[in-house]
Amino acid sequence: MADAHTSLPVKGCLMVQGTTSDAGKSLCVTALCRILKRRGISVAPFKPQNMALNSAVTNDGGEIGRAQALQAEACGLPLSTDFNPVLLKPNSDMRSQVIINGKAVSELDARRFGNIKELAFDHVLAAFQRLKEQYDVVIVEGAGSPAEVNLRKNDIANMGFAEAVDCPVVLISDIDRGGVFAHLTGTVNILAASEQARIKGFLINKFRGRIELLQDGLDWLEGYSQKPVLGVLPYIMDLRLDAEDGINRALHEENLNQPDQQRIVIKVPVLPRISNHTDFEPLLQHSGVVLEYVTAGGDLSGADLIILPGSKSVQADLAYLREQGFDRQILKHLRYGGKVLGVCGGFQMLGQKISDPEQVEGTITESEGLGLLDVSTRLTAEKQLKNVDGVLSNSGNKIKGYEIHCGISEGAGLQTPFCCLTDQQGNSYTDGAISGDGQVMGTYVHGLFDHPETCEFILEWVSGSPGTAEDWQALREREIERIADIYEEHIDMDALLDIIQ
């Protein structure tokens, strides 16, 4: 929607922090970025430090969190590693890969996590400074909550960053969880005096009902804290945007509960280190698909297609797959004529073996694969990061997506590739494999279902019948516009612009 407002020049930054994880920070930054862009203000997103297994590839071959990729889209900007200079990708309960300026540089275990400030903070400050010099406004997203007292000493993601660069803060809280006034005032009260002063106002997220019933609480909050409530945001139904990290359970339930009809049943086993499960979110929107995420002890039977997803720890997740009996269920599924697709780590699992001579993932140096494709994979320390496009081998349909993987696959199965690709440097090559009987396919390309031609090909491969798929990119753009409209209606934007400095 074209914006009718005219604004005086605005320069500076604003940081959105939350009282909890999933309070609405990412979506708020996305909406504010689009609102400012519509007002003719050059704006960029920034998250000092992100922890997520969903990531995106920048044009220069770096890696950032998917939330910052969505926020960059709201700004109308190509992806840059400066938008998220530090990305932590957990590969176990106790260890995380550290990605700085788009490249993996280290691993930290829980005992050494305090080293992150020494390792990364200078890079964070340098990236932020580059953005400030290039754009009028930088909208910054915090991580988790600023009131995590155990993390305060080495914080680079919340008040530690805001204090270092003198950035004003607004604090958002999710009223749908309950206890919103305690969350807001408790968070402020835990902070140091200078940090309390840095918070310039509150946003209340996911409110349902009549605002008059909340007014007494708002009046109390403003009187008690001496800080304004800058907006009360409604609960947005049917929101269709990429999940930052966890599986979008609301969309999942909505998809499962659609009225009975003839639909393709797709099941995805949820692995402990599942990565880039945003690959499958377009399927949650497809009226002809039932998509079910199957957790521990679950049942893969009844599926037309089983998809093995990406993984941050392929060998450990393959062992988990076997522990749950999913391997036996997959073999039974194939005997009855079902189809199997492996994406990235899932593709590696479908092969004959996975070797890890450099111990990239840990102490296991070799694992037997599921043996469904005639390929073998050697894990490597150097990560492949590419944006790609091309055509599908069997149909000529277009494919577009990205690669994020630590592995090189070889074997006779690659002679029947899934697709032919060109990367951002202009290099052409084939990718993936298709089994001799045509029941199993694997690829390193993420984002398969974002693009209608690829989605339609895969669904026709499964069902035998042609169909149509919505353009996920166009849907994403409409959703960004929708949330920007809603936020602009419910936030005091004049007050917010006054806060930016």
What are the two backbone dihedrals, phi and then psi, of residue 283, each rounded to the nearest 5 degrees? Answer: -70, -25
Provide the β-strand partners of residue 402. 387, 446
| Tokens linked to 55 | 């990531």
How far apart CA 59 and CA 362 sit, in angstroms, is 30
Question: Under 8 Å CB-to-CB from 15, ≥6 apart: which residues?
Answer: 139, 140, 141, 142, 161, 162, 167, 168, 169, 170
Query: Which residue, among 148, 143, 131, 39, has the nearest Cα to 87 in the 3D structure?
Result: 143
- Residue 196, classed as helix, strand or coil, is helix
Report in angstroms the alpha-carbon separations of 379 from 91, 126, 349, 356, 364: 14, 32, 12, 5, 11
Q: Which residue carries 């050494």 as its tokens?
A: 112
Q: Is 277 a catalytic residue?
A: no
Measured between its terminal Cα atoms, the distance across the chain in Å is: 27
CA distance 429 to 422: 7
Nearest CA to 388 among 430, 342, 341? 430
Report the relative pairing of strands 339-343 and 305-308 from DSSP bridges: parallel
User: What is the rounded distance in angstroms from the CA atom of residue 465 to the CA atom of residue 478?
Assistant: 29
**Given 13, 167, 344, 406, the catalytic residue:** 344
How far apart (Å, rounded) are the C-alpha atoms in residues 308 and 344?
Answer: 9
10 Å CB burial of residue 312 (0-12, 13-18, 19+) is buried
Annotated catalytic residue within 183, 286, 446, 451: 446
Local structure of residue 259 (DSSP, 8 states): P
DSSP 446-483: B-GGGSHHHHHHHHHHHHSS------HHHHHHHHHHHH
DSSP calls for 19-48: SSTTSSHHHHHHHHHHHHHHTT--EEEE-S
Is 344 part of the annotated catalytic residue set? yes
| Type of residue found at 84 | N
- Are 372 and 440 in contact by the 8 Å Cβ rule? The answer is yes
Cα angle 306, 467, 269; round to 5: 15
User: Which residues are annotated as catalytic?
Assistant: 344, 446
